[in-house]
């Protein structure tokens, strides 16, 4: 029977609102780069415990911890070799239990990254599966014979470049890998695989976790007929999921992912979560053509996952007011029962301050916009410090993705460099040893201790805007209706229990006028933005890179 900690279990059973995740703010922690506690240059669970007061000071509702499971670390934890243990570089199961207990003491819920679509090739399941064609786990992974000429079964491509099929000399067959060659895909058409993965889910719920971030949630199933993906017309290709140098973008991925079978598994997964009070889930949807539709379908009703995000706001395309309005409409965020989870940055993409070339004022107004959209908001560690993308030279690069496509695509290490905690300590206070990735010198200038002491800092702005969001139920769970949208401006209304909140954002370096909807409105001067001015003629002006909130 899975371990059950009495303290954690009691806390979980006392969990209050099962809808706590609606409108919540989630803070993503990439454990390798958060805080090192033992001097080996790699962040760990004990380090996270040490920094939880910082997280609590932000006012967020939950943390999402990227993978810490046992792994050969070829993809830094997203290649799992044991789903039920902690990799020694991060600590132990005891450390994890202590982390959950401390987070709960501070009022922070814990979401962990669950990588179900694939494992490491070092996982015992795969070692057994590849040993023969008739062993008990022979069908646990996606195996297929070669074509008569020895080539792969079809034209499917890997996100990490090249064919999604790898020849295995033991079984004399190809196996499917949507990512690294060393990350074979599990066969979700096998009921034993599904049952085992649901048992893994229960294992962590029994340890007190409050939910899961589901990696590549639309990659679980493949087409059993192994049909070729059709080509995608040039004008429809997008680099939202893979960099532009990757031929993965040349295909319409109809058969290697986003299959309709997935809905049944998500329902079974949700049924397990519903056994645990207030457990939640957020899925990562990786689909460049149909991401919005999949996001809405996976979260509709109350029998699938709770929320999902795609890569629209994580892409290189600048989020103009017009684009934000389009994304919200496509995702059904105006009034559907689906629920989005919005983020600008995470461990897979260039930090948005650099990606969109935002100055400090622009960064702030976009943060306010993110925290005003209908849905749950996710912040990536260092975002609250205004960190930019770090430059990592090739000789210090760790990411296999970056090594594969260097120099046109430099990989994901630039957003994964260690967090600077102290401006006057070695390596920014991250580690007493040599960090696994270099600490960017420009980041040290924005260290948390320096910003903590400055009222006008980015860190204190994030604390203020999160507090403002939590003080307005309309921002947490209210309806959403766009009032006006153009490239340099967007305004919309959030409404909850007959309370109306008008939100306007000047997304440009020039002042603009604001037209409020009909009604009697009071500008919220307790908001972090207070620069809106109403002239003698009654017209309201919004200075450059400013926001306005008003209630009626």
121 with 184: CB under 8 angstroms?
yes
pLDDT along the chain (552 residues), means of 10: 36 66 97 98 98 98 98 97 98 98 98 98 98 98 98 97 97 98 98 98 98 98 98 90 92 97 98 96 95 92 95 95 94 73 97 98 98 97 98 95 92 97 97 97 97 96 97 96 97 96 97 92 84 70 94 94
Residue with tokens 């933005």: 529
Rounded CA-CA distance 119/181 in Å is 11
Choose the catalytic residue: 215, 389, 399, 493: 215
- pLDDT, tens only, 35-53: 999 999 999 999 999 999 9
Instruction: Report d(CA 297, CA 332) in Å as an integer.
Output: 10
Asked if 245 and 405 count as a contact pair (C-beta separation under 8 A), the reply is yes
CB 27, CB 229: distance < 8 Å: no
Residue 372 CA to its chain's centroid (Å): 18
Strands (E), 293-394: 307-309, 341-342, 376-380
Half-sphere exposure of 155 (CA within 13 A, CB side): 13
Q: Is residue 215 annotated as part of the catalytic site, yes or no?
A: yes
d(C-alpha 389, C-alpha 354), whole Å = 6
CATH class of 478-551: mainly beta
Task: Please give the full DSSP string across 152-174, using - where no structure is assigned.
Answer: -SS--B-TTSSBSEEEETTTTEE
* The pLDDT of residue 377: 98
Q: What is the pLDDT of residue 538?
A: 63
- Give yes or no for a contact between 311 and 295, defined as CB atoms under 8 angstroms apart: no
Nearest residue to 120 via CA among 72, 53, 56, 189: 72
Fold of the domain built from segment(s) 6-116+191-469: TIM Barrel (3.20.20)
pLDDT tens per residue, range 95-125: 999 999 999 999 999 999 999 999 999 999 9
- State the DSSP string of 73-113: -TTTTSS-SEEEEE-TTT--HHHHHHHHHHHHHTT-EEEEE
Instruction: Give the 3-state secondary structure percentages of the chain, helix then strand then coil, rounded to 5.
Output: 30, 20, 55
pLDDT attached to residue 533: 73
- Summarised one tens digit per residue, pLDDT across range 273-304 is 999 989 999 999 999 989 989 999 999 999 99
Extents of the domains making up the chain: 6-116+191-469, 478-551
Following DSSP, what letter does each residue of 259-303 receive, concatenated?
Answer: -TTHHHHHHHHHHHHTTSTT-EEEEE---TTTHHHHHHHHHSTTS
Give the span between the Cα atoms of 5 and 104, in whole angstroms.
13
Question: Which is the catalytic residue, given 134, 235, 275, 537?
Answer: 275
The rounded distance, in Å, linking the Cα atoms of 52 and 276 is 24
Q: Do domains 6-116+191-469 and 478-551 have the same CATH topology?
A: no
Enter the DSSP assignment of 439: P
Cβ 495 vs Cβ 501: under 8 Å: yes
Nearest of 127, 139, 138, 133 to residue 171 by alpha carbon:
133
* DSSP calls for 485-550: EETTEEEEEEEETTEEEEEEEE-SSS-EEE-PPSS--EE-TTSS----EE-TTS-EEE-TT-EEEE
**Coil, helix or strand at residue 379:** strand
């Amino acid at each position: 029977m899975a371990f059950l900690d009495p303290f954690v279990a009691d806390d979980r059973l006392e969990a209050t609102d099962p809808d706590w995740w609606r409108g919540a703010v989630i803070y993503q922690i990439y454990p390798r780069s958060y805080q090192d506690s033992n001097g080996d240059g790699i962040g760990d669970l004990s380090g996270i415990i040490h920094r939880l007061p910082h997280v609590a000071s932000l006012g967020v509702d939950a943390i999402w911890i990227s993978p810490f499971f046992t792994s050969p670390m070829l993809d830094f934890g997203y290649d799992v070799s044991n789903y039920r243990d902690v990799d020694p570089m991060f600590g132990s199961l005891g450390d994890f239990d202590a982390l959950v207990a401390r987070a709960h003491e501070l009022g922070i819920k814990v979401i962990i990254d669950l990588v179900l679509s694939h494992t490491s090739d070092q996982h015992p399941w795969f070692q057994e599966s590849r040993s023969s064609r008739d062993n008990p786990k022979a069908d646990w992974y996606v195996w297929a014979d070669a074509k008569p000429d020895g080539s792969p079964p079809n034209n499917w491509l890997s996100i990490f470049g090249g064919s999604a099929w790898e020849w295995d000399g033991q079984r004399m067959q190809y196996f499917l890998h949507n990512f690294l060659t060393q990350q074979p895909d599990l066969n979700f058409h096998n009921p034993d695989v599904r049952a085992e993965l649901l048992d893994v889910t229960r294992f962590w719920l029994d340890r007190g976790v409050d939910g899961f971030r589901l990696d590549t949630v639309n990659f679980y199933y493949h087409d059993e007929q192994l049909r070729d993906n059709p080509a995608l017309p040039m004008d429809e290709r997008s680099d939202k999921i893979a960099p532009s140098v990757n031929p993965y973008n040349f295909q319409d991925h109809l058969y290697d992912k986003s299959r309709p079978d997935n809905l049944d598994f998500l329902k079974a997964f949700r049924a397990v979560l519903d056994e645990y009070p207030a457990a939640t889930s957020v899925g990562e949807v990786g689909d460049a053509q149909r991401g919005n539709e999949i996001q809405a379908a996976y979260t509709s009703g109350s029998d699938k996952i709770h929320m999902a995000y795609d890569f629209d706001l994580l892409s290189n395309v600048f989020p103009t007011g017009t684009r934000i309005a389009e994304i919200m409409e496509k995702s059904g965020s105006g009034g559907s029962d689906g629920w989005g989870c919005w983020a600008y940055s995470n461990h897979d993409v260039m930090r948005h301050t650099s990606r969109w070339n935002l100055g400090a004022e622009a960064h702030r107004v976009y943060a306010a916009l993110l925290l005003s959209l209908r849905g749950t908001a996710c912040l990536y560690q260092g975002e609250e410090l205004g960190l930019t993308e770090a430059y990592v030279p090739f000789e210090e690069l760790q990411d296999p993705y970056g090594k594969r496509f260097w120099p046109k695509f430099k990989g994901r290490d630039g957003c994964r460099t260690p967090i600077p905690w102290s401006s006057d300590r070695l390596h920014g206070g991250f580690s007493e040893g040599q960090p696994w990735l270099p600490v960017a010198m420009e980041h040290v200038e924005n260290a948390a201790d320096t910003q903590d002491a400055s009222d006008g800092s980015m860190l204190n702005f994030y604390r203020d805007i999160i507090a403002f969001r939590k003080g307005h139920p309309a921002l947490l769970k209210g309806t959403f209706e766009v009032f006006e949208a153009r490239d340099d401006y967007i305004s919309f209304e959030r409404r909850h229990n007959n309370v109306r909140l008008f939100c306007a954002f000047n997304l440009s370096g020039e002042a603009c006028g604001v037209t409020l909807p009909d009604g009697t409105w009071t500008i919220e001067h307790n908001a972090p933005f207070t620069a809106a001015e109403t002239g003698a003629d009654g017209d309201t002006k919004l200075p450059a890179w400013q926001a306005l909130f008003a209630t009626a």
